[in-house]
């Protein structure tokens, strides 16, 4: 019985990974490649080389991605290596197969860049959520972090920046702006898949007026809250901290009421991507 319970999640993850591959590949071919839109990463570099020399993007991605994988191999554990192999080899294969899928010719390059990026981000988010990766620049960033001390985020920024600079040089600033738009759309879609839409807000309120703030939260907003005693580090004065989570639709009303009750209250409002516990059982 334990084996059958473990097999189901594995099968679902493989199905999700496969679906993510073909969604990514279709977004790449049907929107970006079909409409001559560039992007970041190794796929973006392959599009750049395709426009310059008409080299097959799938072949280019294999020629770039596989050597990167071999060089980065010592930094990867067995599990990460297998996950990277799957993405590095199978994504270019899916992009090759996607040439027989319907394309989306678009009169507006901005729409092609935006929707292509969102679809690619959806597919990549599904791949990452399945505990696989697509290798490429992320492995280069890991090596730069290991050997040069450059953070992963800065490394990715540098690598994507080089592709954008090359785009400006060969195709002009407008092509580069469309490429940046596609990168932003990809990043946002990945975030949505991995962390949700953020339909709830996490609220932290630090106030001197505990009674009035408590009444406002419980009565005016009909919201529960956790109340904690606190002390100002600089002033040494006693404070009260309220922690609560509310639907996004109530956020504007909450701001108005906080200002009414205590204009000096220190308030932090942030997205809550997932909320669990009493009264909450959903991805926000």
Tens digits of residue pLDDT in 6-60: 444 588 889 999 999 999 999 999 999 999 999 999 999 999 999 999 999 999 9
Note the pLDDT of residue 10. Answer: 83
Residue 39: which of 108, 118, 107, 93 has the closest Cα? 118
Is the model more confident about 231 or about 146? 231
The mean pLDDT value for 200-213 works out to 91
Note the pLDDT of residue 1. Answer: 40
pLDDT tops 70 at residue 278: no
Spatial distance between the Cα atoms of 117 and 112, rounded to a whole number of angstroms: 8
pLDDT tops 80 at residue 267: yes
Note the pLDDT of residue 263. Answer: 92
Q: How many residues belong to the chain?
A: 284
Mean pLDDT of the chain: 87
Note the pLDDT of residue 4. Answer: 44
Residue 150 Rama label (left phi>0; alpha psi -120 to 50; beta): beta
Tens digits of residue pLDDT in 121-178: 999 999 988 888 888 888 888 888 888 888 877 888 899 999 999 999 999 999 999 9
Query: Which pairs from 192-197 meet CB under 8 Å and 24+ separation?
Result: 192/121, 192/125, 193/121, 193/122, 193/124, 193/125, 193/126, 193/128, 193/129, 194/125, 194/128, 194/129, 195/273, 195/274, 196/273, 196/274, 196/283, 196/284, 197/284
The mean pLDDT value for 253-276 works out to 87
Is the model more confident about 198 or about 244? 244
200-282, CATH topology level: Alpha-Beta Plaits (3.30.70)
What is the DSSP code (8-state) at residue 69? H
pLDDT tops 50 at residue 5: no
Note the pLDDT of residue 277. Answer: 67
Q: Are 119 and 33 in contact (CB under 8 A)?
A: no
Q: Where are the domains of the chain?
A: 2-195, 200-282
What percent of the chain clears pLDDT 70, i.e. is strictly above it? 92
Note the pLDDT of residue 235. Answer: 83
């Amino acid at each position: 019985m334990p084996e059958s319970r473990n097999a189901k999640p594995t099968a679902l993850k493989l199905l999700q990974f496969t679906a993510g591959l073909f969604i990514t590949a279709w977004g790449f071919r049907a929107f970006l490649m079909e409409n001559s839109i560039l992007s970041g990463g190794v796929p973006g570099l392959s599009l750049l080389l395709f426009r310059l020399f008409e080299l097959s993007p799938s072949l280019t991605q294999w020629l770039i991605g596989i050597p990167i994988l071999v060089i980065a191999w010592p930094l990867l554990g067995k599990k990460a290596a297998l996950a990277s192999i799957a993405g590095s080899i199978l994504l270019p294969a899916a992009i090759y197969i996607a040439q027989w899928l319907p394309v989306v010719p678009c009169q507006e390059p901005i729409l092609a860049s935006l929707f292509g990026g969102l679809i690619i981000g959806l597919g990549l988010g599904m791949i990452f959520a399945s505990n696989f990766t697509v290798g490429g620049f992320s492995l280069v960033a890991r090596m730069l972090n290991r050997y040069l001390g450059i953070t992963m985020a800065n490394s990715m920024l540098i690598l994507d920046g080089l592709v954008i600079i090359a785009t400006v040089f060969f195709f002009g600033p407008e092509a580069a702006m469309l490429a940046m738009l596609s990168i932003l759309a990809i990043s946002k879609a990945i975030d949505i898949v991995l962390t949700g839409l953020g339909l709830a807000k996490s609220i932290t309120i630090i106030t001197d007026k505990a009674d009035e703030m408590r009444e406002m939260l419980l009565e005016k907003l009909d919201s529960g809250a956790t109340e904690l005693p606190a002390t100002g580090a600089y002033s040494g004065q006693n404070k009260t901290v309220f922690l609560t989570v509310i639907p996004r639709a109530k956020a504007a009303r909450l701001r108005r009421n906080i200002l009414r009750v205590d204009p000096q209250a220190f308030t932090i409002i942030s997205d809550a991507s997932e909320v669990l516990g009493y009264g909450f059982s959903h991805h926000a």
